[in-house]
Chains A and B, each alone.
Chain A
Amino acid sequence: MIDDENAGAMGSALIKVMSLFFIGIMIIAFTANPVSVGTGEGQRAPDIDGKFYNGTGWSDMEFGSYFNTSWEEGDINGQWVVIEFMDTDCPACQRAAEDYGSYANYFSVSNSEWNGPHVNFLASATELSIQGHNSDRQEIQDFRADNEHNFPYIDDLDQDNMGEWGIPGTPTYFLIQPDGIIAWSSPEHSGEKVSDAIFRLTPRSA
């Protein structure tokens, strides 16, 4: 019969280390409740980097400042966010621009007809890698002015944000709750307009 005389050393070391490892994991599990970051519904929206144009100049984008992580479902005071990923040279985006602008005006606290929360509209303008799609900041500014939009346009000409969000094509829309969690996305609801999603998902005052 062969005995491993040194098994005791390994066994007790293994018990000690495994205990320590699982205690560490359990402490993390009990004290944190992580939400995965991604673009699926129920996931935390990834960050948006870059400069945005608000009609006067280009400034650093602080996407996180739109959200309040302590917001609770049903609270009408929280501000929602809709972001459109678009290209100023994309015909579908050009056709959608008028509607998108009218939604921005309608879903606002300054509109007495709307009894829901304020919805902040954003547009992330990219330059798709397609022949004939050449864009720059001046074109973004002109597109915004031509469509009489009053919401920020983000410079994503390098496709950084588009890549991080995994955008399949333009235009693509996301409706984000006040706590930064994605409530609706157009790739998951191809038959529903973003305006209908806002009506369906946001709370209303009595």
Chain B
Amino acid sequence: MASNALVAVYLVPTLIGLFIVSPWGGLLTNSLKDRYPSLNSVRGQLLAGLQLISLAGFAVSAQTLWISSKISEGGSFCSSSSTFSCDDLLGNSKLNVDPFFGLSWGLIGMAVFALLLFIVFVLQQEHNHPMAERMISMGLLSTGVGVLIIGLLVSYELKEGKLCLYCTTAHIANLAALVGFFRLKRLYENNSEWNS
């Protein structure tokens, strides 16, 4: 049970990040604008929200990779007879790797969220970088493909009748990042708002 409660460490920042990248994000960031001037612009808000989401997504993906590794040692982390048993999914050698290359889903998650973080860091430093549009599209594309992968992984959960809360948090982070990059793309297309 404690292991399932630990997921809040990742879920809370993800949900805060999702709120920041939503159209109502200003409600949360208004009080922080004096301390963090970058939050004065919509672009700054979106990038801050995306940074929080990507960091949480990276961390929870690393945690799932660690859980898979511990289970393969013979240990258990969140084994339970209830529906909330991530060990049954993360410890399943057929389901915890991608079907083409056999790479752990946790490792793939870490790589994708690291890519998103890279895009966010570049745009925070140079929002008019010559590759800015391409990088935003790359973020949108990778999180869009992530939705298809989420569909596959949820089908595994339904088949096994188990729910992995750590995986679900990573899925929420991907969806939140998709929202963030979608709004960032729209903002970029409106040149005056992007440069405000």
Contacts and interface: CB of A to CB of B under 8 A. Distances in A.
A143 B121 CA distance: 67
A35 B73 contact: yes
A34 B65 CA distance: 10
A9 B66 contact: no
Interface in B89-117: 92-94, 110-111, 114-115, 117
Interface residues of B, number: 28
Contact of A35 (B74, B111, B114): B74
A67 B76 CA distance: 13
Contact of B121 (A17, A21, A38): A17
A200 interface: no
B94 A164 contact: yes
Contacts of A164: 94
Interface centre among A31, A34, A180 (most CB of B within 10 A): A34
Interface residues of A, number: 31
Q: For the complex, would chain B's binding face be called helix, strand, loop or mixed by DSSP majority?
A: helix
Contacts, number: 75
Contacts of A36: 72
A180 B129 CA distance: 54
A13 B59 CA distance: 18
A34 B117 contact: no
A14 interface: yes
Interface of B: 58-59, 62, 65-66, 68-70, 72-75, 92-94, 110-111, 114-115, 117-118, 121-122, 125-126, 129-131
21 contacts: A6-B126, A9-B121, A9-B125, A10-B131, A13-B122, A16-B117, A17-B114, A17-B115, A21-B111, A21-B114, A24-B62, A24-B110, A28-B65, A32-B66, A32-B73, A34-B69, A37-B93, A67-B74, A69-B74, A179-B74, A180-B74
Interface of A: 6, 8-10, 12-14, 16-17, 20-21, 24-25, 27-28, 31-38, 44, 46-47, 67, 69, 164, 179-180
